[in-house]
Chain A
């Protein structure tokens, strides 16, 4: 174990080996690893961003849904209101129509009644004359007594 030239040779070999590592081994490994680290960091950041935008979108969705629901409810309530209005209107119209029909029917009935009364009056006067003729047993001049009979019929 005496010191000799070996140690100088080993030192030179050592120097060459270090130079080789510094020059050719370390840089590509460092580059690859740092690049991958950056890629991973970028990927994570992108994922985070995506998550954030997803959250925003979900929030927006919920807002829109709420708005739509509200609008829908509004429309429904308006429609209900309109429907009840229409029903009310229809009722009024129907009532009026009914009243009108009833009124016209009443007037028609009145007319009919009057007409029947007229007819009855005429027939009654004829009957009365015939009865009187039979009772009196004597001919009565229709022409002379016509005025009196008409007056009688009117009183009936």
Chain B
């Protein structure tokens, strides 16, 4: 909730700051438009906002994980670390209440520390010490080293002079001290607002982990092998899907028999999410490469068939008529009119199919695989290696985005006539 509020504050603050500081040139035509609210074409992404948006995500991530990349002043309050002391007052049968000091050493997560040595002090209640990792809490049996134990009626009645009873708590300057129903003290040093690395590691830990896995690998494969296998499966599945789907789509667009025969199959298979086919594919083809490629083939097949079919139906009849009137044969019309006319639709289909395949391969690897990006993050999550999981998600996103950019570039280069007909 606090994070959301900070995020909204950054959003609004950056807006006003940018509006105040940056005066956009009024050189181009759109800048001269007076009506922009409601004119969609006048709304162009403000690139400053994009940059600030990405930066603020990393800033928040760093600030709430105590990242070394973010200056210390911007860090959210971290967990308490260091030595802290509190006194307790205990009573026992037949003696006066006595005070003693407890020294707690709170050490950084992931390190080890022994309780600090303390002088036992005077009186029947002795001074204690203990060590607790940051973000953790510890039960401190203060009666263990005292002269009178629980069998002699040892009871803690106050902390730092404030009364305490089982189920109650006392707040100190370094954290909370509670009492269990049986009377044991539960010391809980302040956790601060930062996330614990096992839930959310700082960005530099993710980068370090990426470098480590790129060099040394994870689960017997390097990072590149994991990503490479995922990509290979996508490309192979998409290739076969397109190889079968495009001719099928053309046949459905050109022949009533094909259209009638495959319509029910395609219309049925199209709404079935490829993920729903994973169990069946595993039963039939196992969890090896064959199964994965069959799954991706099925994911791409229907999309490509429908794209090719709509490419054929999208050809304007006057172009076909014109070609016939110019003496073209059926084969020539196919080659020179129908195929080029359907290419924009096929490219759109290919872009969708690649996206679906990429999502499907990751999901399939989550279920079962020996290598692959999805397998990597699934296994890592079982060992609570959050840094690998986050790294994997980022890489999967970057690759998916990269695939889409590549397809768009290919489309611009190969079908410049898209939308110009």
A, B co-complexed: no
Mark A residues whose CB is within 8 Å of B: none
